[in-house]
């Protein structure tokens, strides 16, 4: 005779139950794939926004560096020089005059 069947084996022999189980499994897999695609799309969107923000920040830093380089490269107008005014007296040098500076006597 046949051994007694457990409750887990009973739906496995019924072709309608087997078809319904496969249909439920297919729907669950399709739902998981759709949810996975949605999660992937959300993560991809977050990474794309992060990339765009990072790229914009890098361009902004480059723009600032170029602007500062232009400002630094511009020559500054010459400062107003202070002049010392005075009268000069020309003295004729004599042969016996002592040399001044390094190596000479004062």
Query: pTM to 2 decimals?
Result: 0.46
Q: Assess if residue 89 is contained within a domain.
A: no
92, 102, 104 from 99: Cα distances, Å: 14, 9, 5
CB atoms within 10 A of CB 21: 13
pLDDT of 14 over the 70 cut: yes
Domain that holds residue 25: 10-73
Predicted confidence band of residue 103 (pLDDT cuts 50, 70, 90): low
Q: Assess if residue 104 is contained within a domain.
A: no
Q: Assess if residue 28 is contained within a domain.
A: yes
Q: Check residue 23 and give its pLDDT.
A: 95
Distance between CA 19 and CA 14 in Å, rounded? 9
Q: Assess if residue 27 is contained within a domain.
A: yes
**For 23-55, how does the pLDDT look when each residue is reduced to its tens digit (9 = 90+)?**
999 999 999 999 999 999 999 999 999 999 999
pLDDT of 5 over the 70 cut: no
Q: Check residue 80 and give its pLDDT.
A: 75
Q: Assess if residue 66 is contained within a domain.
A: yes
Question: In 40-66, which positions are buried (b, 16+ CB within 10 angstroms) versus exposed (e)?
Answer: eeeeeeeeeeeeeeeeeeeeeeeeeee
Q: Report how many domains make up the chain.
A: 1
Q: Assess if residue 43 is contained within a domain.
A: yes
Q: Assess if residue 100 is contained within a domain.
A: no
């Amino acid at each position: 005779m046949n051994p007694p069947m457990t409750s887990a084996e009973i739906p496995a022999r019924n072709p309608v139950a087997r078809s319904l189980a496969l249909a439920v499994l297919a729907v669950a897999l399709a739902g998981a794939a759709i949810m996975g695609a949605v999660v992937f799309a959300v993560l991809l969107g977050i990474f794309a926004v992060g990339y765009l923000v990072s790229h914009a920040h890098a361009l902004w830093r480059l723009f600032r560096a170029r602007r500062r380089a232009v400002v630094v490269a511009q020559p500054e107008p010459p400062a107003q020089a202070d002049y010392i005014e005075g009268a000069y007296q020309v003295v004729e040098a004599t042969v016996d005059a002592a040399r001044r500076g390094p190596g000479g006597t004062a």
